[in-house]
Amino acid sequence: MKKVTVSGLLKKKHAGEKITALTAYDASFAKLFDDEQIDALLIGDSLGMVLLGQDDTLNVTVDDIAYHTQAVRRGVQRAFVLADMPFMSYATPERAYDNAASLMAAGASMVKLEGGAWLCDTIRGLVQRSVPVCGHIGLTPQSVHVFGGFKVQGRQSEQAQQIIDDALALEKAGIQLLVLECVPTSLAKTITDKLSIPVIGIGAGKHTDGQILVMHDMLGVSANYMPKFSKNYLAETGDLRKAVNSYIDEVHSGAFPSDDHSFE
């Protein structure tokens, strides 16, 4: 079984093949997703909401992410494994280096940071220290209190241009993947076309290079609410493996996300 690598994900972008990703938090679900040929798994700070029932992601710690990264890594043979850097764990470059080292040691192949051009120095430092980085812009959940809630970003032209500028700056600084969350479909297409690295969307429409969902949303078991951009595949299939397969197939075919799961 050939392992998925960041270079393999880049090849998918250039070949026009969609990338599939889900969050995962334990070995059993990680193995199930891996067996069904998911491309990438993210140990997300979303665990604060879907596992712990918190209102946001801000109380999640590096130790939390490291613990769940170790569990996911034990269940994976093929999929590419990313780990979230939690709130304030990269407030300074030095903190970012130490905390990223902990997550890489726990089994991550890449770390993900939320934020725009202000992170460029930190990203350059991580890359120089052999830590692969995934960026995350648009709706960044760690900034929920700045945004005043979980709101679509980039609907106004000035804000949209800032998101484009951030994406380009992050790529230049050295990120190898970008997660783009809750932005209009047209903006996501512009960014995907401008960047040479893969862009993974969540609530960003069908024109990104791939899709990621929180596993609890995809299975319809989230404790809080079902986001507009998600789809309950378990309700449609009645079986966990069939649900994962259906999600993967619909991403590959372009059936998901539909307009119903996107923003304009």
> Is residue 114 part of an annotated ligand binding site?
yes
CATH architecture observed for domain 6-261: Alpha-Beta Barrel (3.20)
pTM of structure = 0.96
Q: Is 112 annotated as a binding residue?
A: yes
Structural domain boundaries in the chain:
6-261
Give how far Cα 228 sits from Cα of 204, 213, 245, Å: 11, 12, 21
pLDDT at 245 over 70: yes
For 127-183, the pLDDT digits (tens) are 999 999 999 999 998 887 776 767 899 999 999 999 999 999 999 999 999 999 999
Report the DSSP beta bridge partners of residue 246. none
Active-site pick, 36, 171, 181, 250: 181
Percentages helix, strand, coil for the chain, rounded to the nearest 5?
45, 15, 40
Which pLDDT band holds residue 224 (cuts at 50, 70, 90)? Answer: low
Identify the helix (H) or strand (E) that includes residue 121.
helix 120-128
Residue 84 among known ligand-binding residues: yes
**Is 46 annotated as contributing to ligand binding?**
yes
181 counts as catalytic: yes
Q: Are 33 and 41 in contact (CB under 8 A)?
A: yes
